[in-house]
Amino acid sequence: MNRAELHESIERNIKFSFARSGGKGGQNVNKVNTKVHAVMPFCRIKGLSQEELSAARRKLDAVINSEDEICINVDDERYQDVNRKIAAERIESRIIQAAHIAVARKKTKPTKASKEKRLNQKKLRSELKNSRRRIIF
């Protein structure tokens, strides 16, 4: 994954539209378009391998629309510029998280020391429990 290339492709291809937003901001919210609707064509994502792209497509299915675009709405802040930056960051972070492919864990045998330690703990626990038993004469 090339994060610089990914960031650049998002900055170049993201499209914004704006709408009036509810929430904090007083009367200003009723007059100014502060809500940001960000759209990024999925096919324009650069900096990811084919495997990462397929993993991202599978995991981002909920935010990809019928035109194969990633859509995000942001109305967290009172200012359009701040919401625009937040939307771009969210798209980038979502793509990075979705493109991450987990490496399968290699199975390893327990070491001789760990086996001995486990058996020793087991023996101590057994002795402790045996010492709690009633002695029958």
pLDDT at residue number 21: 83
> Which tokens sit at 110?
């327990």
Distance CA 34, CA 23 (A): 11
CA–CA gap between residue 22 and residue 76 (Å, rounded): 10
With 0.75 as the threshold, say if the pTM is over it: no
Predicted local confidence at residue 97, as pLDDT: 93
**Domain ranges for the chain:** 3-99
The rounded average pLDDT for each run of 10 residues, N- to C-terminus, in the chain (137 residues) is: 89 94 75 91 91 92 92 91 95 93 91 97 96 83
Domain covering 3-99, topology: Double Stranded RNA Binding Domain (3.30.160)
- The whole-number pLDDT of residue 95 equals 93
pLDDT value of position 98 = 92
